[in-house]
Structure 1
Amino acid sequence: MVPIIIVFLALIFFGIYQYKKSKPKRIKNIPDSWHNLLFEHVLFYKKLSSKEEQLLFREKMRDFLSETHVEAVNFKLDELDTILVAASAVIPVFCFDNWQYSNLSTVLIYPDNFNKDYEYAGDNRNIAGLVGTGRFKNQMILSKKALRLGFNNKTDKGNTAIHEFVHLIDKMDGDIDGIPKLLLSHTYAIPWLRLMHDKMEAINNNTSDIRNYGGTNQEEFFAVASEYFFERPKLFKRKHPELYKMMNDCFCKVKA
């Protein structure tokens, strides 16, 4: 009887140990370095109107990193890489209280772009980021090169990490289909679909400045348009006023 009890208790303690080990470490104090790095590299943060909003942004980053692992694959993770991942997660949901990415446990950062077999040293390495499936379920994979470029280039309309987090938001209602039901009220669904297909048609007819990849399907349109919306809100508002208004209602007032 005694050995059975010992084995049983050992299994319980091992389970508790594994659970604790699998949880990211809770961040209690926000490092002072975060503000300077965000101010230098993240335009969305720099444009926030008050110190209170900037503090709220950093608190949301802390909460994200306390729930999600950020891991580098075959290179040493810089603080800036972690900050850019967390900022990418917070930007699309900044206006929402207590938001959690319940469909994400780990963000893996590869040193460079990768191929469909998740190899970053093989041929056909044309993938900069993706939301994982199968053995990579609840994981996101990002290229470090693309992560940095998304924030270094202040004049383009793209940001790979934001693109992938928008896919996760889209997925939270059960489907990645370009219709984020958690953000769109029922009344907006049909006008959104109509506007989305009009814009996709313009992309495929080469009469739009939205990136070509947005014409692939509904889900890619939503993610690509969101990149543009967050990266260049003023230009987006001028070029696509109706789409800007609808996405602003969706994501909660982004300053143009």
Structure 2
Amino acid sequence: MLYIIAIAILLIVFIVSIKSKRKKSTVSLEKLVVPEHWHPLLLKHILFYEKLNVGEQEVFRTKMASFLKETNIEAIHFELEELDTLLIAASAVIPVFRFPNWKYTNLSTVLIYPDYFDDDLQFDSQIEGRTIGGLVGTGRFEKQMILSRKALHLGFSNKTDKGNTAIHEFIHLLDKADGVVDGIPSVLLNKQYIIPWLQLVHKEMEAINNNNSDIRSYGGTSEIEFLAVAGEYFFERPKLFQRKHPELYNMLALCFSK
């Protein structure tokens, strides 16, 4: 008899625990506020968002809200505007939009500098050699990304180019998700595709370095940069990219369509 009572008590505790967890989950979702005015802003500034259907746009906005809830964004020496945060969140969502539950566990903070910066992270207009628009931090900047505000906005204002600095850096974070930044997207590609991927990358890098490719020259400097540069092109000009580089397009479609 005591045994039966003990089992009954355990079942009650278990059921109450499940209900409690469900309640917490519901509260968490209720706290995820997605402002209505985001929609027209995203339609105006984000071509990727504009091409989605209504249901996908709703999912996109929700993913943005989730990212902004989990990630700290800090402006350095300027007043942060809402559009700055929306562009960063959109940049984060675009590469992983087709992933059901992706979280950037290797990112806690995005620092936005007002302008391009140099290797010493200086952005003063009087300093020469300021060519860096973004980077994924290491060492004391681990789990941080640094972006130039000017580069961030330029990436979305020109809808006919093939580049986007912020998307480029978030692709580096995806590359880093397996613990190392090496241009081999192990978390994105099944193992059987790794060797074909590398063969294709080296072929395309050779074409870039021989001036026989329309992929940005920076992509020819390393496998790491090739992945990010090709990824920019893939998201910014997908139809052109598919026409010019069908094999590479198909491989990246495998990567970003989990």
Same fold (TM over 0.5): yes
In the TM superposition, 1:9-24 aligns within 5 A as none
Aligned residue number for residue 41 of structure 2: 37
Q: Is the CA contact 2:32–2:66 (under 8 Å) kept in the aligned structure 1? A: no
In 1, Cα distance between equivalents of 2:31 and 2:74: 16
State the Cα distance separating 1:123 from its structure 2 match: 2.8
Which structure 2 residues correspond to residues 122-133 of structure 1 after superposition, within 5 A? 122-133=127-138
One-letter code aligned to 1:92: P
Match among 54, 57, 65 for residue 54 of structure 1: 57
Q: 1:35 to 1:27 in 2, by over 3 A?
A: farther
Q: List runs of 5+ in structure 1 lacking aligned partners.
A: 1-25
Considering only aligned residues, what root-mean-square deviation do their CA atoms show, in Å?
1.1
Q: How high is the TM-score relative to the length of structure 2?
A: 0.86
Matching of residue 141 in structure 1 with residue 146 in structure 2? yes
**Percent sequence identity over aligned pairs:** 66
2:90 paired with 1:92:
no
For residue 166 of structure 1, what is the amino acid of its counterpart? Answer: I
CA offset at residue 27 of structure 1? 5.7
Q: Report Cα offsets for 1:132-184 as digits up to 9, x if no partner.
A: 11211110000000000000001110000000000000001011111110110
> Does the CA contact (< 8 Å) of 2:107 and 2:144 recur in 1?
yes
The whole-number CA distance in structure 1 between the counterparts of 2:157 and 2:58 is 22
Amino acid at match of 1:98: N
* In the alignment, structure 1 residue 189 sits paired with structure 2 residue 177: no
Amino acid at match of 1:44: F
Tell me the distance in 2 between the aligned counterparts of 1:81 and 1:32: 17
**Which AA in structure 2 matches 1:79?**
E
Is the 1:27–1:62 Cα contact (8 Å) retained in structure 2? no
Aligned-pair distance for 1:28?
Answer: 2.6
Using the alignment, how far apart are the partners of 1:166 and 1:147 within structure 2? 15
**Does the CA-based 8 Å contact 1:27-1:65 persist in structure 2?**
no
The range that moved more, 231-240 or 131-140, is 131-140
1:228, 1:236 within 8 Å by CA — same for their partners in 2?
yes
Larger Rg: 2
Structure 2: which amino acid aligns with 1:212? Answer: S
8 Å CA contact 2:137–2:144 kept in 1: the answer is: yes
| 209, 219, 233: which one aligns with 1:214 | 219
**TM-superposed deviation, 1:249:** 1.2
Q: What is the rounded CA distance, in whole Å, between the counterparts of 1:51 and 1:155 in structure 2?
A: 24
CA–CA distance in structure 1, aligned partners of residues 31 and 199 of structure 2: 44
Match of 1:80?
Answer: 83
- Cα deviations by residue, 1:18-63 (Å, 9 ceiling, x for unpaired): xxxxxxxx96321112111110000000000x21110000000011
Encode CA deviations 1:81-116: one digit per residue, 9 max, x unaligned. 100000000000001111100000000110000011
Amino acid at match of 2:253: N
CA contact (8 A) 1:195 1:243 kept: yes
Output the CA distance in 1 between the equivalents of 2:183 and 2:42: 29
SS at match of 1:31: coil
Q: Per the alignment, do residues 27 and 150 of structure 1 end up closer, same or farther by CA in structure 2, a change over 3 Å counting?
A: farther
8 Å CA contact 1:61–1:90 kept in 2: the answer is: yes
Q: Secondary structure at the match of 2:55?
A: helix
Does structure 2 conserve the Cα–Cα contact (< 8 Å) formed by 1:132 and 1:140?
yes
Tell me the distance in 2 between the aligned counterparts of 1:27 and 1:174: 32
Counterpart pick for 1:239 among 204, 222, 244: 244
Secondary structure of the corresponding residue to residue 75 of structure 1: coil
The separation in 2 between residues aligned to 1:211 and 1:123, in whole angstroms, is 23
After the TM superposition, list the runs of 4 or more consecutive aligned residues in structure 1 that deviate by more than 4 angstroms: none
Residues paired across the two proteins, number: 227
Task: Output one character per residue of 1:178-231: Cα deviation in whole Å (capped at 9) or x when no partner.
Answer: 111011001100100000000000000000000000000000000000000000
